[in-house]
Structure formats: structure tokens, C-alpha cells
């Protein structure tokens, strides 16, 4: 049975509710949508007491739907008219909870790739969003986590602005854009609101964004790290089973100097480095076609060769990339040389079993 509106309703019509009938016959299923394997709908009830009575049916529906072929995630929200059932409060930024047994996997996620850089300004977040979209376009089930708590940008770059739902105050239902399930601290804040936290709260926020988000079933989760070698990187590597890290750098010596520090950090934390990407490798004038290497060229390839690491590819410096990111539609979602460059890197990761 292929995934369709009819197959979902068939499952829901078999789930009994208090007082007789089922979810469908009692007209409790509203705003049903199916998108890229994600099943979403609202169960509209009369009041808080009815919501509490229907919670077992909601849980049963979620379990039953997850077993349907083609379903990667199920998101069911209990609500009531006129706000009679206010959503529970979800607080991000608590102190981390103890974890025993070393790094652990994220439920439902096959591979986790950390996208890192030694310094800011090399386009790491741009690479993260575009690589996630490129992988999704090649048939992978992809998630994107913006782990830059102080400077989140992925919500803007992916064109998402709606705050994620949390029907129980614990589980976070992430939005989806361009075929990618994504989560960012930027979705939990007002646009110009700053995060003024010390290390423990940052570490706790990362733990929540990894563990409390309903990622569904993913082939790969892309984690966009902040620049540097601080709390987020240390927490991620020590608490989470990573497939490996990808280092992004521009060709210039200053950027490569900091990239080496990131490489050293991952080595000390026993995290595999899967390869290096050279961003802003070349600029082609859109008017005359002249090619210029503004930040130099080939430095990252040479560094990868020197260290015996895979060189994953070159990405151009392009005005279109900046405009696409600002507009909320990554360049990899379109056509042209930039999209093709990301597609080549994505295809290489898939062929190498890394994504």
C-alpha cells in the first residue's frame, strides 16, 4: 500500500476513541498533509479534559502511521478552539543532563556529518544548507541542524520563520523546507533577539536540539557548527556518534591556518575527518566572463593532499549564492554551475557511503 491520503485515513479509521467511533468518523482529523514522507495533522478537541482523554489515541495513531511504507515522520498536534488547550511551554537552554556510556546515536538517524571551519566568514553555513538540499535532491532523507547557538542563520537561509510546534512541551516538531527537515535556534527567538548564554546553557541547548527534535527517519543529518573549537564542538563530539566532520575553508593562508586547528581538534576528539571543501575558490564575472581567484586557488586541495585527506570539491564565489541564501532558497535548489558543483559533492559523499 503506497503512501496516500486514503491509506493514512484508512489507518486512522481503525483507531477507536473514547465515547465510541474512530478518529475519522468522529471528524477529529483536521489539516491532514503529506509531504516527503512526513504525515502531519491536527486533532481538534473541545477542551483540556477531552485532550487528555484522547492522548492514548494520539499515541496509537502515531505508532500505527510510522509503520506505513514511505512514512519518515509523524506529527500530530492536539488543539482546541479559542485556545482552550494552550500548548505546553518549551524552554531551550537548560543545563545538560548527565550521559553515561560515551557518544550515543540520534534516534532514527543513520549518519551525522558535522560541517566545520576554523574561522568565521568562509561560508560554512552556506555550504551546510546547500549541501543538505543537494543531498535531498539526490533522494536522500536529510536533516539540517543549525548548531550555531549564538549566531543562527539557517532559518533565514532555508526560508523558514514559523516557530516549531511542541504538543507536549518536550518533543519538538521541526519544519521542512526544500525537502530537508531543519531546526535552528533562530526559530525559537525573535528576529533581533540575542542569546547571552555561558557554556553550560549552550551545551544543554545542543543536547535538546539533538535529542528532543522528532527528526523522523533520516539517511543523514547535517550539523552546521559555529566557527572555532569551543563548547559546541566539544559537546557534539563527546556526546554524539558522528560519522565524521567536513572542513570548509577558503584557499587563503589565514583561513587554512585556522582550518588546521579545527583538524587538530577533531583528531584529538577521535572524530574522523571525511574531507575538505574549498569555498569561494573562483569568481567568474557575470558581465565579461573573466575568471579571478580573489582568495587564491588550490590551497585547500594542496592541504588535503599534504594531510592524506579526501578533497571533496571546489565551490565558486557567486552573487547568486548570496542572493539565494538571503531569499531563503539555497542555490542548490535551482539550476546552474553552483547547483551542479554542490550536486557533484553530494554525489561523491553518497558514492563514498558518507551520506
CATH number at residue 136: 3.40.50.300
Q: Within this chain, do residues 147 and 271 fall inside the same structural domain, yes or no?
A: yes
Q: Within this chain, do residues 18 and 161 fall inside the same structural domain, yes or no?
A: no
Contact by Cβ (8 Å): 22, 12: yes
pLDDT of 164 reads 86
Q: Within this chain, do residues 187 and 228 fall inside the same structural domain, yes or no?
A: yes
- Which CATH number does the domain housing residue 73 bear? 3.30.300.130
pLDDT of 88 reads 52
The answer to the question of residue 199 being in a domain is: yes
pLDDT of 291 reads 74
pLDDT of 84 reads 45
Q: Within this chain, do residues 281 and 132 fall inside the same structural domain, yes or no?
A: yes
Q: Within this chain, do residues 115 and 71 fall inside the same structural domain, yes or no?
A: no
The answer to the question of residue 320 being in a domain is: yes
Q: Within this chain, do residues 43 and 116 fall inside the same structural domain, yes or no?
A: no
pLDDT of 86 reads 46
46-97 per-position pLDDT tens digit: 777 777 788 888 889 998 998 888 888 899 888 766 544 445 557 787 777 7
Q: Point out the residues of the chain with pLDDT beneath 50.
A: 83-86
The answer to the question of residue 102 being in a domain is: no
pTM attached to this predicted model: 0.75
pLDDT of 136 reads 96
How far apart are alpha carbons 54 and 47 in whole angstroms?
11
Of the candidates 165, 123, 102, which has an alpha carbon nearest to the alpha carbon of residue 332? 123
- SS3 per residue for the chain: CCCCHHHHHHHHCCCECCCCCECCCCCCEEEEEEECCEEEEEEECCCHHHHHHHHHHHHHHHHHHHCCCCCCEEEEEEECHHHCCCCCCCCCCCCCCCCCCCCECCCCEEEEEEEECCCCCCCHHHHHHHHHHHHHHCCCCEEEEECCCCCCCHHHHCCCCCCCECCCCCCEECCEECCEEEEEHHHHCCCCCCCCCCHHHHHHHHHHHHHCECCCCEEEEEEECCCCCCHHHHHHHHHECCCEEEEEECCCHHHHHHHHHHHHHHHHCCCCEEEEEECCCCEECCCCCCEECECECCHHHHHHHHHCCCEEEECCCCHHHHHHHHHCCCHHHCCCHHHHHHHHHHHHHHHCCCC
The answer to the question of residue 89 being in a domain is: no
Q: Within this chain, do residues 196 and 255 fall inside the same structural domain, yes or no?
A: yes
Provide the CA 69 distance to its chain's centre, in angstroms.
23
Residue 344 phi/psi, 5-degree rounding, is -65, -45
Q: Within this chain, do residues 150 and 280 fall inside the same structural domain, yes or no?
A: yes
Q: In what side-by-side order are the strands of the sheet with 73-79?
A: 29-35, 38-44, 73-79
Q: Name the domain count of the chain.
A: 2
164-184 per-position pLDDT tens digit: 888 777 888 899 999 999 999
pLDDT of 198 reads 84
The answer to the question of residue 99 being in a domain is: no
pLDDT of 168 reads 76
pLDDT of 42 reads 86
Residue where a domain terminates, one of 83, 100, 126: 83
Residue-number span of the structural domain to which 160 is assigned: 109-351
Q: Within this chain, do residues 143 and 58 fall inside the same structural domain, yes or no?
A: no
The answer to the question of residue 104 being in a domain is: no
Of the candidates 210, 185, 164, 138, which has an alpha carbon nearest to the alpha carbon of residue 38? 164
Q: Within this chain, do residues 124 and 224 fall inside the same structural domain, yes or no?
A: yes
Q: Within this chain, do residues 70 and 116 fall inside the same structural domain, yes or no?
A: no
Q: Within this chain, do residues 25 and 172 fall inside the same structural domain, yes or no?
A: no
Amino acid at each position: 500500500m503506497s503512501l496516500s491520503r486514503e491509506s493514512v485515513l484508512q489507518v486512522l479509521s481503525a483507531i477507536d476513541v473514547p465515547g465510541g467511533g474512530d478518529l475519522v468518523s468522529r471528524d477529529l482529523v483536521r489539516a491532514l498533509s503529506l509531504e516527503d514522507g512526513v504525515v502531519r495533522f491536527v486533532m481538534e478537541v473541545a477542551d483540556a479534559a477531552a485532550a487528555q482523554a484522547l492522548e492514548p489515541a494520539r499515541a496509537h495513531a502515531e505508532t500505527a502511521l510510522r509503520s506505513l511504507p514511505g512514512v519518515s515522520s509523524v506529527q500530530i498536534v492536539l488543539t482546541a478552539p479559542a485556545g482552550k488547550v494552550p500548548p505546553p511551554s518549551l524552554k531551550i537552554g537548560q543545563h545538560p543532563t548527565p550521559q553515561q556510556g560515551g557518544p550515543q546515536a540520534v534516534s532514527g538517524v543513520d549518519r551525522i556529518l558535522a560541517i566545520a571551519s576554523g574561522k568565521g566568514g568562509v561560508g560554512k553555513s552556506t555550504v551546510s544548507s546547500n549541501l543538505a538540499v543537494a543531498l535531498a535532491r539526490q533522494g536522500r532523507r536529510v536533516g539540517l541542524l543549525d548548531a550555531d547557538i549564538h549566531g543562527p542563520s539557517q532559518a533565514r537561509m532555508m526560508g523558514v520563520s514559523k516557530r516549531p510546534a511542541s504538543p507536549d512541551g518536550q518533543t519538538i516538531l521541526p519544519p521542512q523546507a526544500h525537502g530537508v527537515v531543519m531546526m535552528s535556534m533562530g526559530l525559537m527567538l525573535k528576529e533581533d533577539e540575542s542569546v547571552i548564554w555561558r557554556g553550560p546553557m549552550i551545551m544543554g541547548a545542543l543536547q535538546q536540539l539533538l535529542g528532543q527534535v522528532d527528526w523522523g527517519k533520516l539517511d543523514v543529518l547535517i550539523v552546521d557548527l559555529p566557527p572555532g573549537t569551543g563548547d559546541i564542538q566539544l559537546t557534539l563530539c563527546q556526546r554524539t556518534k558522528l560519522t565524521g566532520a567536513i572542513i570548509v575553508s577558503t584557499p587563503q593562508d589565514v583561513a587554512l591556518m585556522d582550518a588546521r586547528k579545527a583538524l587538530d581538534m577533531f583528531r584529538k576528539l577521535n572524530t574522523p575527518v571525511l574531507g575538505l571543501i574549498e569555498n569561494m575558490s573562483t569568481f567568474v564575472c557575470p558581465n565579461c566572463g573573466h575568471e579571478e581567484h580573489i582568495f587564491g586557488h588550490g590551497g585547500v586541495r594542496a592541504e588535503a593532499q599534504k594531510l592524506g585527506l579526501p578533497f571533496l570539491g571546489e565551490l565558486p564565489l557567486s552573487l547568486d549564492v548570496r542572493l539565494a541564501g538571503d531569499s531563503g532558497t539555497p542555490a542548490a535548489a535551482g539550476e546552474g554551475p553552483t547547483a551542479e558543483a554542490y550536486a557533484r559533492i553530494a554525489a561523491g559523499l553518497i558514492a563514498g557511503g558518507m551520506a
